[in-house]
Amino acid sequence: MKPLSIITYLKNNKRKVLPGFVCIVLSVFLVYFFSILLYSTIYAIQLGSINVVDKVTIVNSTNKNSISDKILNKISTSKDVKDIIPIIGDVGYFEYHSPFGSMSVEGYNVFSEDIPKLLNIFNMKLQQGTNPADNKNEIIISLKYAKQNKIKIGDYIGTNPDLRANFNKKYRVSGIIDGPVNIAFTSNSGSIKREDALKYSLMFSMNDRRINDEIMDMGDKNVNIVDYKSAVTEVNQIIESMNALGIILDTIIIIVLCISIGNLNYVVFLNRKNEFSILTAIGYRKIALYRKLLMENLAVNILGYILGIAFTILVVEILNITVWEPNGQYIYSLRTGSMITALLVPIFVSVISMISPLRELKAMDYECINI
């Protein structure tokens, strides 16, 4: 027999350690599940905002006057600018629902010859149908939005509350695209010429984002510039609020768990007083017994952590297959940052919940044996 063996103790005292073990598993599940939900929601926000301006900068006039020649010349002559795409106008937006809420996604009216170029810029692929034809009131939409609202090729969307869409007219869905961006394109150029459209609204891809700062430094108040930096600043306000909510929830779970498991460990220790008194009486040093208690507790908590992570991954993958993916959503079941966050549960619990038992052990000697 090995009195200090952790494995022997766990084998012979399953009922004693089971309540604490189950608490750890459920708490790790809650923390990890909430963390990956939060991360996946943030990623969904990025699909309709950050990922767009990560590839292009959008410049448009804020009034009836055209964009200044100084800015247009800067864009057209800069070596950092790759493709310049005129925007005929915004056609409205649709709402994409993530697990924690919804976000508006813009639809753009561009020239038909620019659509293949835009799909290439955004790393998008046409999954079904065709690109919109000129002046046919056709539109291509993202696969995620199409799945979420059960939209198929040939369906019409305009101002549809049930489809969470608000476009300036009714459009026939001619194609469905997929990739790292939520976006929609139509091509109703009418009689407007390309060079005229460029004077009022455009987007351009770039080799270096310094061109954005150079344009902003020109200080034209009649021009609105949407670039990566401004979009990140705006989205970060939302992300910070969501992360604060996550920190509050994690803190509450850890505090409640430390209190509850601390009480459980104390009760279990009181039932083991004779065991530790005997070990003290036959010569085991207190430091060895401290280590025994800590390692037993840590072993239970780490096993609970591993099972909690595995259980969460299984649950998320099942929900992805049965619920989220059919609705155009996806939750990342594997994320290192979320696993590290969940690891705080067994670490804090292992330390804090052992304070009372260790105090009792320190004050105890072999005379405590009940005969």
Q: What is the pLDDT of residues 220-267, one digit of tens each?
A: 788 888 888 888 887 777 778 777 878 888 888 888 888 887 787 777
Q: Are residues 122 and 244 in the same domain?
A: no
Report the pLDDT value the prediction gives residue 85, as an integer from 0 to 100: 94
Q: Is residue 1 part of a domain?
A: no
Residue 32, pLDDT > 90, answer yes
Residues 136 and 175 in one domain: yes
Do 228 and 331 lie in a common domain?
no
Top mean pLDDT of 10-14, 113-117, 215-219, 265-269 is at 113-117
Structure tokens that stand for 258 in this block: 């430390």
Q: Is the pTM of this model over 0.95?
A: no
Read off the pLDDT of residues 322-335 as tens digits, 9 standing for 90 and up.
988 888 888 989 99
Residue 295 confidence (pLDDT): 84
**pLDDT tens readout for residues 121-134:** 999 999 999 999 99
Q: What is the sign, positive or negative, of the torsion defined by CA atoms of 5, 7, 8, 13?
A: positive
Per DSSP bridges, beta strands 101-110 and 184-186 are parallel
User: Residue 99: helix, strand or coil by DSSP?
Assistant: coil
Q: Evaluate whether residue 262 is within a structural domain.
A: yes
pLDDT-based confidence at residue 167 (cuts at 50, 70, 90): very high
> Would strands 138-142 and 165-178 be described as parallel, antiparallel, or unpaired?
parallel
CB neighbour class for 3 (10 Å; exposed up to 12, middle 13-18, buried from 19): middle
User: Distance (Å, rounded) from C-alpha 270 to C-alpha 233?
Assistant: 55
Q: Are residues 118 and 180 in the same domain?
A: yes
* Predicted pLDDT of residue 113: 93
Last residue of a domain, one of 189, 207, 235: 235
Question: How many folded domains does the chain comprise?
Answer: 2
Say if 85 falls within a structural domain.
yes
Q: How large a percentage of the chain has pLDDT more than 90?
A: 35
pLDDT of residue 138: 96
Length of the chain: 371
Taking residues 28-56, what's their average pLDDT? Answer: 87
Q: What is the DSSP letter of 331?
A: -
In this structure, of 8-12, 254-258, 327-331, 362-366, the range with the lowest mean pLDDT score is 362-366
Which H helix or E strand runs over 267? helix 228-271
**Do 72 and 189 lie in a common domain?**
yes
Among 212, 235, 258, the domain boundary falls at 235
| Top-confidence residue, 155 or 278 | 155
Tens-place pLDDT, residues 171-212: 999 999 999 999 999 999 888 899 889 999 999 998 888 888
Instruction: Specify if 271 maps to a domain.
Output: yes
Higher pLDDT, 100 or 107: 107
Question: Which range has the worst mean pLDDT, 115-119, 142-146, 329-333?
Answer: 329-333
Radius of gyration of the chain (CA): 30
Domain interval for residue 20: 6-46+236-368
Range from 63-77, 190-204, 263-277 carrying the lowest mean pLDDT = 263-277
Angle, helices 14-48 vs 228-271, to 10°: value is 170
Instruction: State whether 231 and 246 are in the same domain.
Output: no
- For residues 53-79, average pLDDT: 89
Q: What is the pLDDT of residue 371?
A: 43
Structural domain includes residue 159: yes
Q: Is residue 32 domain-shared with residue 126, that is, in the same domain?
A: no
Are 149 and 213 in a shared domain? yes
pLDDT, residue 3, reads 64
Are 354 and 266 contacting, i.e. CB atoms less than 8 angstroms apart? Answer: no
In terms of domains, do 303 and 335 share one? yes
Evaluate whether residue 243 is within a structural domain: yes
Work out the percent of the chain whose per-residue pLDDT is above 70: 97
Q: Are 45 and 105 in contact (CB under 8 A)?
A: no
In a domain, 198, yes or no: yes
Residues 174, 66 share a domain: yes
What pLDDT band is residue 309 in, cutting at 50, 70 and 90? very high
Tell me, yes or no, whether 228 and 261 share the same domain: no
pLDDT at 370 over 70: no
182/57 same-domain check: yes
Q: What is the mean pLDDT of the chain?
A: 86
Which one of 235, 255, 283 terminates a domain? 235
**Is the pLDDT higher at 278 or at 186?**
186
Q: Find the mean pLDDT for residues 258-287.
A: 77
User: Does residue 172 lie within any of the structural domains?
Assistant: yes
